[in-house]
Amino acid sequence: MADFDGLGDVRGKRVLVRSDLNVPLDGARITDDGRVRASVPTIQALAEAGARVVVVAHLGRPKGEPDPRFSLAPVAERLGELLGRPVAFATDTVGEGAVSTVDALGDGEVAVLENVRFNPGETSKDDEERAAFAGELARLADAFVSDGFGVVHRKQASVYDVALRLPHAMGGLVSREIDVLRRLTVDPERPYAVVLGGSKVSDKLGVIDHLLGKADVLLIGGGMVFTFLAAQGHEVGASLLEEDQLETCRGYLARAEESGVRIVLPTDIVVDTEFPSGDREPQPRVVPADQIPADSLGLDIGPDSGAAFAEVIRGARTVFWNGPMGVFETPAFAEGTRAVAEALTQVDGLSVVGGGDSAAAVRSLGFDESAFGHISTGGGASLEFLEGKELPGIAVLER
């Protein structure tokens, strides 16, 4: 591979790759390495082309200073296992450790810099502070490849400002993500179904608003459904409820009816009197969606709803899913999410799992990832793209 997306021959060049290695950790153990695996193809391709690959990424939300809980050291180790080659690790981002680690790289070798968010310049709202940090990063490289789709909606130093300072290209992962998302927004095959879950309506306002004019049917589950049920006048007991969004939900229901878009809500709900915890065995009960007891909270869509959602999904040609149907981490409240995921594997067309908790659910519930058309690595970035927003990390590459 002598050419990489317009960068020319990268052999011997130091190529800074912004990857998304933000994985969940239990101590130093990675509990879901999906994002690391998704980052491998671009890093592998550059290394095989003879580049000296310098990977920059973040983990968690440290407050602009080193925090051992968020070290990328275990992630660098896992990356090396997946690449089948040694991966050097710099114990800082732009300091002496980074400089010496990068200087020691030979052609085709890979290094990972410590968590980029250990430096306050990475996420600074001050353009000059962010630019100064980006300049330090840029001095470590001859070219830049943006391959961290999960962060392209952020105007951050290693995502946006570095691209202004180096010859740049879009990595294979980001390119694939954008291609798939464009298929969801530009003349999608129909019927087009969107499945939305997760805890809050307020997290999905923009995407609901935008997709009401594009999708044929919206299936709504997860914690956000209770605000919709309350908007219809139903009691939701102790379930999660955003009272300040009731009028918004009523407006969405009215718009959908006027425009011929179906909004499908659950007809039954799995409830318990307490949120799941390790101290107590769950006591799930299935109740009608309009008869949730006052002392109970909804924790999953019920079996009838799961079957109904699955039927709609299987009959669609294009499906986008973002957000679990319930508290899938607890088996007693995972069946609604399982039903949706299973149906997506049976779609005759394009099925897209929209990152975040949905992607985590697919893996934790044991599904074969190859059975889905696409599993996004960026929940927030996917949603903002579908809302029609400009993504700074993409816009800067296209200047």
Annotated binding site for substrate, which residues? 20-22, 35, 58-61, 117, 154
326 in active site: no
356 in active site: yes
Which is catalytic among the residues 37, 108, 380, 389? 380
Known binding positions: 20-22, 35, 58-61, 117, 154, 204, 298, 329, 355-358
214 in active site: no
Question: Which candidate, 23, 18, 140, places its Cα nearest to that of 394?
Answer: 18
Which is catalytic among the residues 13, 18, 35, 338? 35
Which is catalytic among the residues 121, 171, 356, 378? 356
Amino acid at 100: S
Question: Which candidate, 221, 227, 224, places its Cα nearest to that of 199?
Answer: 224
**Is-contact 306 314, C-beta < 8 A?**
no
- Residues 395, 47: Cα–Cα separation, whole Å: 26
Beta-sheet pairing, 217-220 with 268-272: unpaired
The single residue listed with the structure tokens 């949730």 is 292
Known binding positions for ATP: 204, 298, 329, 355-358
The single residue listed with the structure tokens 């491998």 is 40
Max distance between CA atoms of the chain, in angstroms, equals 67
**Is-contact 382 361, C-beta < 8 A?**
no
Tell me how far CA of residue 11 lies from CA of 47, 105, 306, in angstroms.
9, 12, 52
Which is catalytic among the residues 37, 165, 200, 255? 200
35 in active site: yes
**Is-contact 218 196, C-beta < 8 A?**
yes
Tell me how far CA of residue 204 lies from CA of 97, 211, 238, 352, 391, in angstroms.
41, 11, 22, 17, 17
By annotation, the residues acting in catalysis are 35, 200, 356, 380
